[in-house]
């Protein structure tokens, strides 16, 4: 499966959802996750993310391993998103900021 990692938090560009052939992105208040039970590993979403937040589960950057479980957990309660929407107005300011996990809203 592919995994949305920390840098999506507060950036949430949503370009990723447009290319997914199986609609496995789920949306929360300031983050998106991939449902690991639906993802078919097509790889299409990875290059679409302007924040470079998407990785295959076996190639997660150091420190991002916990996002595998976070994606699985939150995909169960968050609704599916299939259409791109406007990113937060301050998305660019947050892109690349370390330690964003504390701001993850559930």
- Name the site residues for ligand F3S (rule: CB under 6 A): 4, 8, 11-16, 32, 48-49, 51, 53-54
At residue 98, what are phi and psi to the nearest 5 degrees? -80, 160
Of the candidates 45, 46, 54, 47, the residue with the CA atom closest to the CA atom of residue 19: 45
Q: Work out what residue 15 binds among ligand SF4, ligand F3S, none; the CB cut-off runs from 5 to 8 Å by kind.
A: ligand F3S
Q: Which of 2, 13, 55, 78 binds ligand SF4 (CB under 6 A)?
A: 2
Secondary structure element (H or E) that encloses residue 71, with its range: helix 67-75
Cα(58)–Cα(65) distance, integer angstroms: 9
Q: Work out what residue 70 binds among ligand F3S, ligand SF4, none; the CB cut-off runs from 5 to 8 Å by kind.
A: none
* Nearest residue (CB) to ligand SF4, 41 versus 62: 41
């Amino acid at each position: 499966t592919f995994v949305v990692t920390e840098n999506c938090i507060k950036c949430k560009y949503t370009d990723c959802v447009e290319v997914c052939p199986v609609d496995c992105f789920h949306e929360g208040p300031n983050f998106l996750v991939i449902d690991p039970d639906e993802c078919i590993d097509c790889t299409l979403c990875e290059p679409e993310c302007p924040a470079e937040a998407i990785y295959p589960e076996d190639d997660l950057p150091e420190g991002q391993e916990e996002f595998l479980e976070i994606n699985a957990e939150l995909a169960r309660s968050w609704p599916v998103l299939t259409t791109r929407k406007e990113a937060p107005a301050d998305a660019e300011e947050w892109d690349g900021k370390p330690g964003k996990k504390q701001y993850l809203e559930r």
